[in-house]
Amino acid sequence: MEEVTRLCDSVIMMKNGEITDQGSPSSLLKKYGKKKLEDVFLKIARGEGNR
């Protein structure tokens, strides 16, 4: 996920074939209060959403 943070302008997060969130890596990090995009992915995958 570090490569995604460095190289991508936009990211789509999916769970069970459904888009759960999308935006720039920096906006997703800020929205979910995380420092690594992998942690954002894990939070979404666990169904914790934006808590």
Quick: pLDDT tens for 8-47: 999 999 988 999 999 999 999 999 999 999 999 999 999 8
Structural domain contains residue 50: no
Please name the amino acid found at residue 38.
E
- Residue with structure tokens 């074939």? 17
Which pLDDT band holds residue 51 (cuts at 50, 70, 90)?
low
Report how many domains make up the chain. 1
Structural domain contains residue 17: yes
Structural domain contains residue 21: yes
Structural domain contains residue 51: no
Nearest to 6 by CA among 18, 19, 29, 16: 29
Between CA 38 and CA 26 the distance in angstroms is 12
Structural domain contains residue 32: yes
With both helix axes pointing from N to C terminus, report the angle between 25-32 and 37-45 in degrees, rounded to the nearest 10. 60
Structural domain contains residue 37: yes
pTM greater than the 0.85 cutoff: no
| Domain range enclosing 24 | 2-45
Structural domain contains residue 8: yes
Please name the amino acid found at residue 33.
G
